Chain A
Amino acid sequence: MKLTLKVWRQKNGSTPGELKTYPADHVSPDMSFLEMLDEVNQALIMQGEDPIAFDHDCREGICGMCSLMINGVAHGPKEAITTCQLHMRSFKDGETITIEPWRAKPFPIIKDLVVDRESFDRIIQAGGFISASTGSAPDGNAIPVAKPDADKSMDAAACIGCGACAAACPNGSAMLFTAAKVAHLGHLPQGQAERHQRVVNMVATQDAEGFGNCTNIGECAAVCPKEISLDTIAMLNRDLVIAALKGIEPVVK
């Protein structure tokens, strides 16, 4: 396959970037999208040019590092997969592919296609955990969990924190990410003690980080590689309303 790539190149956060065109002439349909970029980078290095910087780690769709906006769609044209799981057979020979970084104010660009997603870490630190005593591991069956609840919790826990939701959202909102964490713990007995404080803290942090506001469009769920549903957002909203009625104030370090 021969492809033309239009790739966002940006030296660092303070320099303006631009789309640059590169040929990719030796692409196998069996390559993953990231392997294709590796090939292009190899050619750039051979020519003495700066290779394209992009995030990646596990390359099997579970780490949440890869983060490319491919032809304007987060993680590319295929549904329910990450960029690393996307293969070049999903593209046509001779196609021009535009590759851009996630764009949202709380995701500042570090270089080229690499963005800083620490704002997500700070949302997690505000409440995406349960407080449990350390010591020996508790008995696996000590706390019964109904199967439907376990399933709902697991569906939400599938979130890998890649940031596709906030990048795809026309409002730059991180609601699907935050809601996945709220739903993951909120469906389990262990998550109940801190349930309402959690949602108040996480929403306050999400706002403070500069994310936008959810208008229930659904672009996030449409691009989510883990198919997190808008139901989680309804659950977050429900928990926040109850927390507000209880008069719970955010406690954020």
Chain B
Amino acid sequence: MMTGVLTLHRTSVGKKVIMALTGCILVGFVVFHMYGNTKMFMGPDEFNKYAEGLRYLGSPVFGYEHLLWVARLVLIAAVVLHVWSASALVTQSRKATGGMKRYSEHKRHTSYAAYTMRYGGILIFLFIIFHVLHLTFGVVGYAAGQFNHPGGGNYDIYNNVIYGFQNVPISLFYIVTMVFLGFHLFHGVWSMFQTLGLNSATYNTLLRGLAVVVCAVVVVGNISFPVAVLTGVIQPV
């Protein structure tokens, strides 16, 4: 049984299944990440307690940051497999089409989102690197000493987010990327069910609807954070 699963990477459809399963993990993360961040609207105490709570997840059974690291490793593995399968499949398709515009005119029947998956994916990948360097490590976008590194009983990250988003170009980059993440989710969430063979005429409308809801919740939620900082709804303390 297990050995069969491990042969999935050999075929094009199997690679897509890997993409769908890892995509499912990443969609779950993105929704949770957005939900957790809404705590910034409840004030600095709630938000900082959330940051602390993530590190004590599963305590006292699990040790400090243990489950957080498990989650991080699973997410990194998911990103690596998602990108690997995507690039392998794009290479295959490039070969099949000659990698160029094939016809003098090409009528596009279906959505913009489906056509931009790979380009949106590249943008999102670059964004993840920037995002980690920015709000996790605090090495870009901050004046010296402005970023408070959490740990050792100090989890005051509320101001980190606000100082981070007070930088207008960085906030705009976040907002633009979220729009492309929205396109990616709009096609990706539905596509996940199609690829796993869980879609059919009976469920198609429902699954398209689910994709729209996930896409709207994540995009509106995530964009609300930089907008709240830029408009002064959230102030540093």
Chain A residues with a Cβ under 8 A of chain B: 6, 19, 69, 71-73, 98, 100, 103-106, 170-173, 200, 203-204, 206-207, 210-219, 222-223, 229-231, 233-241, 243-249
Contacts and interface: CB of A to CB of B under 8 A. Distances in A.
B92 A213 contact: yes
Interface stretch (B60-68, B99-107, B143-151): B99-107
Interface string B1-27: 101110110011111110000000000
A73 B107 contact: yes
Contacts of B92: 207, 212-213
Contacts of B227: none
Majority secondary structure of chain B interface residues (helix, strand, loop or mixed): helix
B201 A173 contact: no
B200 A213 contact: no
A98 B106 CA distance: 11
A239 B96 contact: no
A109 B14 CA distance: 30
A243 B197 CA distance: 12
B194 interface: yes
Contacts of A230: 194, 199
Contact of A244 (B4, B102, B103): B4
A170 B6 CA distance: 29
Nearest to B17: A241
Contact of A173 (B17, B96, B103, B194): B96
A207 B88 CA distance: 12
Given A19-B104, A71-B105, A98-B104, A216 B97 contact: no
A248 B198 CA distance: 21
Contacts of A19: 104
Given A215-B114, A219-B108, A229 B15 contact: no
Contact of B200 (A206, A222, A223, A231): A231
B200 A171 contact: no
A237 B4 contact: no
B103 A69 contact: yes
Contact of A72 (B107, B110, B114, B195): B107
B106 to A, nearest CB: 5
B7 A219 contact: no
A216 to B, nearest CB: 4
B97 A234 contact: no
Given A105-B95, A203-B11, A244-B8, A215 B191 contact: yes
Contacts of B96: 104-106, 171-173, 210-212
Contacts of B115: 170, 217
19 contacts: A71-B107, A103-B98, A105-B96, A172-B96, A173-B93, A173-B96, A203-B11, A203-B13, A207-B11, A212-B93, A216-B194, A237-B13, A237-B195, A238-B197, A240-B13, A241-B196, A244-B14, A244-B17, A246-B4
Interface in B67-103: 89, 92-98, 102-103
Nearest to A209: B96
Contact of A214 (B12, B103, B193, B199): B12
Contact of A217 (B94, B110, B201): B110
Given A215-B117, A231-B200, A6 B104 contact: yes
B194 A233 contact: yes
Contacts of A210: 95-96
B97 A212 contact: yes
A243 B196 CA distance: 13
Nearest to B109: A222
Contact of B103 (A103, A215, A243): A103
B187 interface: yes
Nearest to A236: B13
Nearest to B89: A213
